[in-house]
């Protein structure tokens, strides 16, 4: 099949809508549900992301997409006991692909609400069972076990979108799109993100251990499929904060840094010990945690509001306690889709435990950025690769 009619485009008033191939058949099959225009944009971008993560690291990869940018991306690195608790999979023996998706979803659970899922490897029954409990719109993977497919077909009253991607599909080297009736054409961004792009290190500290290289590659490949301007913090085999689509780079760094901070605050002992009621739904629990660790905590704790989610009123997580916990964060990697124009980005990154940086370089203020990294003994690689994505 080389054409598929869609219900509508980005919005209900945008009809007719379709996807089609000029040459050959569509490289995916619909195994369940009916795809929408944005579903397929998410699917095609997220598939490229997980495919490249798998190629770069050799590990199964997963992504959680919302509105054509990743909310999270990760590879199959085993979870620590703390992360098992934070991701609510304590004591569960996880398959590699389930581990990758649980990490990807755990990066920013609020943004992952109603996500589109991408897996680099076959979706197994365990991953499908985990997805069955989450609010999600669809999934793309190269294959599905029989048990996984049966589970997914029951989700959303049988309408959950399941796409099977042809892993051997290779697109044409030239891509086009139309804006306001004008056709734009360019060569596809096929640049490979490998450890070779991390060799030029102008900072005094040149230490770049294997785990940091892996995390920098994850950050950079994630940025390749994130709406620009964009910045990504990564640690332990996963993105932990993604700032997408900001006009100012330092705003990207601040946005992504605030998400990375929330990710780490969710692991604080007082957060892991929150006394949730057994009947609280997952989205309500996730929202409560984000409010509890944020500046609007009074919305949750004042009056009787806490009774909706907790069995007893938890103590306030004070600003002093939060800052003390955040000060223990270390070893974080930071990637940028273009150069950092000023050292203020590094100043903000330091507050979220960044020790390793990868950025394009080429700013007239590179010396200021390098000096700021040296001030905090960070290791920074100049990749000379810009990764704008629109």
Is residue 389 flagged as an active site residue? no
Establish if 388 belongs to a structural domain: no
1 pLDDT band (50/70/90 cuts)? confident
Establish if 304 belongs to a structural domain: yes
Same domain, 136 and 183: no
Beta pairing class for 3-6 and 17-20: antiparallel
Q: What is residue 247's predicted lDDT score, i.e. its pLDDT?
A: 94
Is residue 251 flagged as an active site residue? no
Is residue 384 flagged as an active site residue? no
pLDDT in tens, 220-234: 999 999 999 999 999
Same domain, 228 and 342: yes
Q: What is residue 71's predicted lDDT score, i.e. its pLDDT?
A: 96
Same domain, 226 and 307: no
Number of domains in the chain: 3
Same domain, 307 and 328: no
Which residue out of 22, 157, 170, 390 is catalytically annotated? 390
Which residue out of 67, 153, 251, 351 is catalytically annotated? 67
Same domain, 334 and 305: no
Picking from 139, 163, 187, the residue at the C-terminal end of a domain is 163
Which residue out of 66, 155, 213, 235 is catalytically annotated? 66
Residue span of the structural domain in which 144 resides? 1-163
Is residue 390 flagged as an active site residue? yes
Same domain, 197 and 211: yes
pLDDT in tens, 334-378: 999 999 999 999 999 999 999 999 999 999 999 999 999 999 999
Same domain, 194 and 75: no
Same domain, 229 and 373: yes
Same domain, 216 and 343: yes
Establish if 385 belongs to a structural domain: no
Locate tokens 């599909």: which residue?
169
- E-strand spans in the chain? 3-6, 17-20, 28-32, 61-66, 69-75, 115-119, 136-141, 161-165, 174-179, 182-187, 230-235, 238-244, 332-336, 354-359, 379-382
């Amino acid at each position: 099949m080389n054409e598929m009619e869609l219900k509508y485009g980005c919005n209900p008033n945008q009809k007719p809508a379709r996807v089609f191939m000029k040459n050959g058949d569509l490289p995916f099959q619909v195994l369940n549900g009916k795809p929408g225009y944005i579903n397929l944009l998410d699917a095609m971008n997220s598939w490229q992301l997980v495919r490249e993560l798998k190629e770069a690291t050799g590990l199964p990869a997963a992504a959680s997409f919302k509105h054509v940018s990743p909310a999270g991306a990760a590879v199959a690195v085993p979870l620590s006991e703390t992360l098992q608790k934070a991701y609510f999979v304590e004591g569960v023996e996880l398959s590699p692909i389930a581990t990758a998706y649980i990490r990807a979803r755990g990066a920013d659970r609020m943004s992952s609400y109603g996500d589109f899922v991408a897996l680099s490897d076959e979706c197994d029954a365990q991953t499908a069972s985990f997805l069955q409990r989450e609010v999600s719109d669809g999934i793309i993977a190269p294959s599905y076990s029989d048990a996984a497919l049966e589970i997914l077909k029951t989700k959303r009253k049988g309408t959950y979108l399941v796409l099977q991607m042809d892993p051997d599909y290779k697109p044409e080297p030239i891509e086009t799109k139309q804006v306001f009736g004008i056709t734009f054409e360019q060569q596809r961004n096929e640049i490979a993100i490998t450890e070779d792009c991390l060799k030029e290190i102008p900072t005094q500290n040149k230490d770049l251990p294997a785990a940091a290289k892996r995390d920098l590659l994850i950050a950079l490949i994630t940025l390749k499929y994130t709406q620009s301007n964009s910045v990504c913090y990564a640690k332990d085999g996963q993105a932990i904060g993604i700032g997408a689509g900001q006009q100012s780079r330092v705003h990207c760094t601040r946005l992504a840094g605030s998400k990375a901070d929330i990710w780490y605050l969710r692991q604080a002992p007082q957060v892991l010990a929150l006394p949730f009621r057994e009947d609280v739904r997952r989205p309500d629990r996730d929202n409560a945690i984000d409010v509890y660790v944020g500046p609007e905590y009074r919305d949750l704790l004042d009056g009787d509001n806490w009774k909706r989610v907790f069995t007893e009123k938890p103590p306030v997580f004070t600003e002093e306690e939060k800052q003390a916990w955040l000060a223990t964060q270390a070893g974080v990697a930071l990637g940028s889709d273009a150069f950092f124009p000023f050292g203020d980005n590094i100043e903000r990154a330091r507050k979220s435990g960044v020790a390793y940086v990868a950025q394009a370089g080429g700013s007239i203020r590179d010396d200021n950025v390098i000096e700021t990294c040296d001030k905090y003994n960070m290791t920074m690689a100049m990749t000379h690769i810009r990764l704008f994505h629109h």
